[in-house]
Amino acid sequence: MPVLYDRLLKLKEMFNSKFGSIPKFYVRAPGRVNIIGEHIDYCGYSVLPMAIEQDVLIAVEPVKTYTLQLANTNPLYPDFSTSANNIQIDKTKALWHNYFLCGLKGIQEHFGLSNLTGMNCLVDGNIPPSSGLSSSSALVCCAGLVTLTVLGRNLSKVELAEICAKSERYIGTEGGGMDQSISFLAEEGTAKLIEFSPLRATDVKLPSGAVFVIANSCVEMNKAATSHFNIRVMECRLAAKLLAKYKNLQWDNVLRLEEVQAKLGISLEEMLLVTEDALHPEPYNPEEICRCLGISLEELRTQILSPNTQGVLIFKLYQRAKHVYSEAARVLQFKKICEEAPENMVQLLGELMNQSHMSCQDMYECSCPELDQLVDICRKFGAQGSRLTGAGWGGCTVSIVPADKLPSFLANVHKAYYQRSDGSLAPEKQSLFATKPGGGALVFLEA
C-alpha cells in the first residue's frame, strides 16, 4: 500500500492547487485482467477475471452548489463541468468524462433522485487506456461509488456492480457485466469465477508455481468508439434466436446463447452439436435471417437490431456461437483444474488459454496481427499459454509463465516485441508486467 498512499498524498496536493480546498474522501476502483472467458459474459456465461493493482483514484469534495466539476491529473483529458441535475451523455463521443457521468447517472436513477448535490472531483488513473484492462469500467465503478458516498446511501457490492454494468450502456456499449463485477467483488490473492443471473463470485485459487504476465500490444481499441463489439453482441443474439427457432422454442424473447442451453437442459458439448446442425458456416445476410425467423426486414431492424448494427449486411452466426459455447466450457475446465491441482496443472491451464486465443482469432475474429505476434513471442519465450484479454482488436495479452522462468521471459519478450529496430513503440505505452490478484473498490476517508 505505500505506493497507493504516496499517490493519495500527491492527489491531495493537486486537488488543493486545482480547487483551493482539501478532498473529503477518496475512492479507488481497480482494472482487471480476464484470465479466460472472452466475449461470453454478455451471452450469460461465467468468466474468470482477477483485479489488477492498476486502478482509478478519485479525490472528492461535495459542494453546496449544484455544479459537478471534473478534472483529470492527465493533461490529455480536459476539465469538464455541468449541472449535477441535468446529466447528458453524448453517445456519439467517447469522451473520458462520459464514463464518470454513466456511474453518477446509474446511482441517481437507482434512487430516483432528481436533485444531486454538486461536487469537485480530481481523477487519477494508471490503467493503460484502451488496453483491454477495463480503464473505462473502473472509472464508471469509481464514479458510482463516489456518488453513493456523497449521498450517504448504502448498497451491497453486488447491487453496485449490477447498477454500474447497466449504466455503462448509456455510452452505447452492450457489455455483459464482468468488468464492473470484478471491480467491486475482487479480493486480494484470489481470482474469481463470476456468474450472472443472479450475480455471484466464487474464489478460484491460481497455481502457486506460475505467474500471470500482462503484455500490451500498444494497439489501442476503444470499445465505445467501434462497432466491432456491438456487432458481435448482435451476432450472438441472432444466433440464439435461430438456435431457439430450430429447436421449436419460443424464440422471440430469447436474447442470450445461455438461455437456449438452459431451456434445452443440455450440456455445452451438446450445444456445440446443435450449433453444427442448426447453423451453417457461410455468413448470413439480413434477408436469410428474416426467412429463418419468419419476420420482415422492418421487424428485424426495429425489434432486434440495435441502432448501431442496423446497417450490417453480413452476420457470422455459426462461428460466434461455436466460440461462445466452447469458451464457456473452457472456463469451467479451468476452474476444475485449479480446484483439483494436478501435477501438470500449469501446462493444462496454458493449453486452455491457447485454445481460447485460437477461438478468438478464428471463430470470433477479435484479434489483430500485433496481438497474434505478441502471443507467439510469449509462447516462444516460456509462456505455457498466452491469449488476448479484454475485447481484443488491440489491447493486451495475458500469459501463464512458470515462476522460475519469469526474469528471462520478461527480458526476452521486451527485446523481441518492444525494442523494435524502427523505434515505433513509444516508451510510455510499453506495458509488460507480472500481476497478482488485487482487491476491489474502496473508499478512503483521508490521505
Stated length of the chain: 447
> Three cell numbers at 280?
451453417
Handedness of CA 18, 147, 33, 367 (dihedral sign): negative
**Cα–Cα distance, 30 to 55 (Å, whole number):** 4
Count Cα atoms within 13 angstroms, Cβ side, for 4: 19
**Cα–Cα distance, 269 to 85 (Å, whole number):** 51
pLDDT digits (tens, 9 = 90+) for 121-157: 999 999 988 888 989 999 999 999 999 999 999 999 9
- What's the CA dihedral at 48, 54, 59, 60 to 10 degrees? -10
Domains of the chain: 1-204+437-445 (3.30.230.10)
The H or E element spanning position 19 is helix 2-19
Q: Which one is catalytic: 179, 203, 277, 362?
A: 179
Q: What is the pLDDT of residue 425?
A: 63
pLDDT digits (tens, 9 = 90+) for 155-210: 999 999 999 999 988 987 777 899 999 999 999 999 999 999 999 999 999 999 99
Band of residue 114 on the pLDDT scale cut at 50, 70, 90: confident
Whether 179 is catalytic? yes
- Which residue, 252, 80, 99, is CA-closest to 175? 99
- What's the CA dihedral at 214, 219, 223, 228 to 10 degrees? -120
Helix 317-340 to helix 345-362 angle (10° resolution) is 170
**Cα–Cα distance, 116 to 76 (Å, whole number):** 28
**Cα–Cα distance, 387 to 398 (Å, whole number):** 6
Count Cα atoms within 13 angstroms, Cβ side, for 247: 27
**Cα–Cα distance, 80 to 333 (Å, whole number):** 46
